[in-house]
């Protein structure tokens, strides 16, 4: 029997995989909508969405059709050539946003790497070599490359990999005074998540983002919004900057952009994009026809009033029930977030026990997420059925009941 045909189990992970993950004890093998089945045939409701990736759930027929059609045409040509799906997708993103130019890559980290390189190159070209400093927020998360993990404001991810990239400063999130004190004419960019995802599902205050925009303008710095987790309808708008009405100079998107197929984008203006001339940055797989064809189907489906208004209605449904559960079982101090990126902040009695709640939910047939040890995170499909919301939250309540009665 070949390796491809051999039966595999969860124990195989510990034998053949690098141990940088600690996956759950079961292996999902099939999904449909907001439901997943594991190797044993057990059904689970998915409120994790592949960490805010499966924006239209599992095996959405429009995405399956787009992938199948493109798979029978052209898989890959590299960026020595362009391709039709990439150009169509770029047009749709440009037409739907502030942006005038798109750069495609494969992951959020790559999109942020491109954004940070662009910001430094723009400053170098316009103002010289001394203007290279980047300001980011504490508890932010921007990826796992050496550059992006250093811009991210969590030292637990950046320590232990040699000398850190210089010229990066971190300030408290939602603290405009701290940002004002840190910014200078040496600052090339301020990098912010409109909602801190890995940092605890913490939305920005409107005045904070407006103030950041003004400070960047005053110091000839670029405002970069990392919308890797908040983009593609997750907030109830196509991108979260639209909720706030604060327009960045550069925006990054990934996760939901491909609905489960790896793709990412950096969006910016024509004036800034021209600083990345031929040869200054690149990627072999970026703009892959398969990925772009799927992402085109995603944006066609998500960027509609029906879906985006539905996200806001589903948010209210989730929040109301979660607040009831939190109060009944004494779990949460707050339920926060925008759209279908929701965080339940654990109270003092449950601080540090998000993993326990994650495990209890899985035992009840529910897939959820953590955002650190103190926040339970929900990032379901944007088109999750109301009946699935009710059923999934019933399972969550059963998990809460068992935990608090133990």
Q: Catalytic positions, please?
A: 141, 226, 255
267: part of which helix (H) or strand (E)?
Answer: strand 264-268
The answer to whether 322 and 342 have CB atoms below 8 angstroms apart is yes
Does the annotation place 228 within a ligand binding site? yes
The answer to whether 30 and 273 have CB atoms below 8 angstroms apart is no
Does the annotation place 100 within a ligand binding site? no
In the numeric block, which tokens belong to residue 2? 């070949």
Does the annotation place 394 within a ligand binding site? no
CA dist 303 and 306 (Å) reads: 9
Does the annotation place 226 within a ligand binding site? yes
Does the annotation place 66 within a ligand binding site? no
Does the annotation place 144 within a ligand binding site? yes
Q: How many beta carbons lie within 10 A of that of residue 169, not counting itself?
A: 17
Q: DSSP 3-state assignment of 297?
A: helix
Q: List Cβ neighbours of 312 (8 Å cut-off, separation of 6 or more).
A: 236, 339
The string over 283-313, giving b where at least 16 C-beta atoms fall within 10 Å of a residue's C-beta and e elsewhere, is bebbbbbbbbbbbbbbbebbbeeebbebbee
Q: DSSP 3-state assignment of 311?
A: helix
Does the annotation place 108 within a ligand binding site? yes
Does the annotation place 284 within a ligand binding site? yes
Binding residues for N(2)-acetyl-L-ornithine: 144, 283
Binding residues for pyridoxal 5'-phosphate: 108-109, 141, 226-229, 284
Binding residues: 108-109, 141, 144, 226-229, 283-284
């Amino acid at each position: 029997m070949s390796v491809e045909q051999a039966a595999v189990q969860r124990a195989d992970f510990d034998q053949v995989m690098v141990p940088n993950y600690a996956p759950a004890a079961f292996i999902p093998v099939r999904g449909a909508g907001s439901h997943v089945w594991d190797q044993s045939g057990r059904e689970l409701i998915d409120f994790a969405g592949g960490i805010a990736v499966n924006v239209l759930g599992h095996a959405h027929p429009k995405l399956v059709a787009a992938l199948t059609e493109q798979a029978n045409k052209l898989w890959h040509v590299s960026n020595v050539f362009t391709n039709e799906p990439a150009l169509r997708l770029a047009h749709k993103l440009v037409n739907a946003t502030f942006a005038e130019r798109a750069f495609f890559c494969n992951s959020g980290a790559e999109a942020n790497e491109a954004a940070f390189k662009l910001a430094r190159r723009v400053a170098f070209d316009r103002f010289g070599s001394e203007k290279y400093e980047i300001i980011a927020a504490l508890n932010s998360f921007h990826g796992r490359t050496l550059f992006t993990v250093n811009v991210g404001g969590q030292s637990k991810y950046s320590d232990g990999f040699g000398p850190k990239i210089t010229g990066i400063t971190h300030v408290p999130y939602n603290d405009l005074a701290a940002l004002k004190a840190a910014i200078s004419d040496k600052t090339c960019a301020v990098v912010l998540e409109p909602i801190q995802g890995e940092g605890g599902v913490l939305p920005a205050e409107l005045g904070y983002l407006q103030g950041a925009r003004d400070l960047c303008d005053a110091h000839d710095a670029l405002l970069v919004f990392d919308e890797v987790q908040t983009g593609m309808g997750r907030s109830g708008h196509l991108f979260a900057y639209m909720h706030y009405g604060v327009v960045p100079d550069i925006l990054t998107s990934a996760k939901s952009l491909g609905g489960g197929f790896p793709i990412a984008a950096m969006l910016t203006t024509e004036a800034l994009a021209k600083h990345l001339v031929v040869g200054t940055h690149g990627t072999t797989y970026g703009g892959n026809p398969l990925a772009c064809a799927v992402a085109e189907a995603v944006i066609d489906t998500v960027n509609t009033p029906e879906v985006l208004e539905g996200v806001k209605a589903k948010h209210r449904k989730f929040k109301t029930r979660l607040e009831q559960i939190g109060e009944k079982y004494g779990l949460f101090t707050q339920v926060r977030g925008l759209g279908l990126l929701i965080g339940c902040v654990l109270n003092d009695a449950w601080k540090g026990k998000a993993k326990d709640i994650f495990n209890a939910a899985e035992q009840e047939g529910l897939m959820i997420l953590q955002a650190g040890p103190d926040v339970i995170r929900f990032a379901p499909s944007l088109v999750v059925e109301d009946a699935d919301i009710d059923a999934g939250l019933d399972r969550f309540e059963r998990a809460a009941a068992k935990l608090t009665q133990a």
